[in-house]
Amino acid sequence: MATFVSGRVHVTVPATSANLGPGFDSLGLALSLRDSLEAQVTAAGLVVEVEGAGADDVPRDESHLVVRAMRAAFAEMEADPPGLRLRCHNVIPHSRGLGSSSAAIVAGLALARALVAGGQLLLDDDALFRLAAELEGHPDNVAPAFYGGFVISGQEGGQWYAVPAGVDPRVRAVVFVPPTPVATEVARGLLPDAVPHAEAAANSGRAALLVAALAGRPEHLFAATRDFLHQEQRTPAMPESLALMHALRAEGIAAVISGAGPTVLAFSGGNHLDLAGRVPAGWACHELDIEAAGVVLGPEDSR
């Protein structure tokens, strides 16, 4: 029978941007917005406290995504805590294409592992990543949320894989976050079942170029972020986002839809992007670094 650590455990986990233009369901990047979560095993019951982004919308019961991830990890470790208390301070915007659900999943798995004595032996990093990918259904956001940095991920022979790749220190990102969310399921539902071979080939070339551009040739980011597979098809769900993306690209700025949208991400490869005047009314704008660290287990939250 598993035993549990006493006291609270604390983790932080980064926002992520997937796809990055042509890297559909395969490329993901961690960004310097971090949610902070804290959990402890209690004598009985479940208490969920949430503040910050999404606090008015998320449940406070077993259906909370972090709790669901924690339960999945406990099951893998054959652990059954008598009670739980979870505290979430959310910074990552919800349903905006910045990986809030992946952050919740990765954080929940990491919290559960940290609460079990010897949890690292019972659920190692590879197993935790695989479980995160299974819970999310695809690995492009959970991989950078767990490992940090820029990660190429996918599935081969029924097995999930994640391969970290380098990022030039000159590369930064500016994200434009609209006030209205778009559900991932809605955005995915607009995608066609098939695309022309020529477009698929062009997209493959851009994705390969993007890996090189991020690694050390940021002058190629504009060409490398050209997408042929999914962004234009999602216009009906986020017309304002596509309009902003096109306006930025018309000025030579490497702009993409972040994940399933509707956030727009613009890359800077060392040149300063003064985009303050381009923020639509009601939108938020964040200048972000590429976050080298994924989920981090740290000291108890002092708040």
Return the DSSP state at 191.
Answer: S
pLDDT in the model for residue 165: 97
How far is Cα 278 from Cα 176, in angstroms, rounded to an integer? 9
CATH class assigned to 8-165+291-298: alpha beta
pLDDT in the model for residue 127: 97
Q: Is residue 153 a known part of a binding site?
A: no
pLDDT in the model for residue 105: 98
Q: Is residue 85 a known part of a binding site?
A: no
pLDDT in the model for residue 303: 32
Q: Is residue 95 a known part of a binding site?
A: yes
Q: Is residue 230 a known part of a binding site?
A: no
Nearest-5° Cα angle at 87, 263 to 258: 10
Q: Which CATH superfamily is domain 171-288 in?
A: GHMP kinase, C-terminal domain (3.30.70.890)
Element (H, E) at 288: strand 284-289
Rounded to a whole number of angstroms, the CA Rg of the chain reads 19
Q: Is residue 94 a known part of a binding site?
A: yes
Any idea where the domains of the chain sit in the sequence? 8-165+291-298, 171-288
How far is Cα 255 from Cα 232, in angstroms, rounded to an integer? 13
Residue 267 bridge partners (DSSP): 173, 254
Q: Is residue 26 a known part of a binding site?
A: no
Q: Is residue 36 a known part of a binding site?
A: no
Mean pLDDT, 10 residues at a time, the chain of 303 residues? 93 98 96 98 98 95 98 97 98 96 98 97 97 96 98 96 96 95 84 87 96 96 95 92 96 95 92 83 95 88 37
pLDDT in the model for residue 301: 43
Q: Is residue 93 a known part of a binding site?
A: yes
pTM of the model: 0.94
The position carrying tokens 């949430």 is: 50
Q: Is residue 103 a known part of a binding site?
A: yes
